[in-house]
Amino acid sequence: MIRLVQRQSKRDVNVSTKSHPPKTQSGFFNDLGELGGNHAQFSEVCTALYERELLFIAHSGISNASILKRRIGGLPHHIRSVARYFVTNPTPLSTDTYNGSWYAKQPKSAPRLPQDADATAQWFRKHADYGLIVPVLVKTIEGIHLELDAIDKTMLVDDVVHLNKHGWFTVDGINRGNSQEANRRNKQASHSIESSDEESRESGLESYGTFDSKTLLKPTKTIMASACSGHAWNFKSRVSPRALSIREMRLSTQINWKNFTLLK
């Protein structure tokens, strides 16, 4: 379906250029803000992002037609934005244009916890602001992975920040959104994995607390590279990276790789 749409778009471009000066045809991509010498890479990244995000949407369980229409309708803007950034690659990460993914060498184990609570709190008190991109360590019964999220509210008088997806955290990284239902699932999970306790201790995962837990991390180059690359670990070792949604890919384009503070 995607290829058919692309062919149709190219045909539309050819038709439109017949009624415009030659400058329009030669500068078509430049007028759109695309990249003159990287058309092939740009198209490859767009295709990969479209395929991946459409799969996400297909399995998302969205039943509201209005929400589904709005989400699909916004894809062209988001995907072009990510692809432009991706092809210029102003990051220390490598790129996989075929899959539309960032790539960095995956550590053998997940980031060690806890981070220095005082240093983490001090950093967030100084730099937390609306729109700041931050990493969240997510632990489930399947294992551990890192996700990118963005601060959308700060209450530093109370030493808390709110993330767009993952909710409230104290500035030293503790999630304040755990519900009774989550605690109930944690107890059930702990009973179901008693046989893997020894493996958990060997891999150091027992230090991450209960299952279905989230921890706000102070960003570092290694942590942010892992979050962008979809790195994940189970109770024995690293596993294949997960694919990032278009939302996380958009967030990855807003990272200040110099010091991880808010881009001005």
What residues does each domain of the chain span? 2-97, 117-252
Q: Is residue 135 within 8 Å of 219, Cβ to Cβ? A: yes
Percentage of the chain exceeding pLDDT 90: 62
Instruction: State the pTM of this model.
Output: 0.75
Q: Name the one residue in this structure whose structure tokens are 């996400």.
A: 56
Distances (CA, A) of 29 to 22, 38, 73: 13, 10, 21
A 10 A CB-CB count for 2 gives 12
Strand 133-140 and strand 143-155: the pairing is: antiparallel
pLDDT in tens, 70-105: 999 999 999 999 999 999 989 999 999 999 999 999
Q: Is residue 155 within 8 Å of 168, Cβ to Cβ? A: no
In the prediction, which pLDDT does 114 show? 86
Residue 246 token pair: 């278009």
pLDDT in tens, 110-167: 998 889 999 999 999 999 999 999 999 999 998 999 999 999 999 988 999 999 999 9
pLDDT at 63 over 80: yes
Cα separation of 42 and 88, whole Å? 10
- Lowest model confidence (mean pLDDT) among 36-40, 49-53, 164-168, 243-247: 36-40
Alpha helices in 128-243 (DSSP H): 180-192, 197-203, 221-229
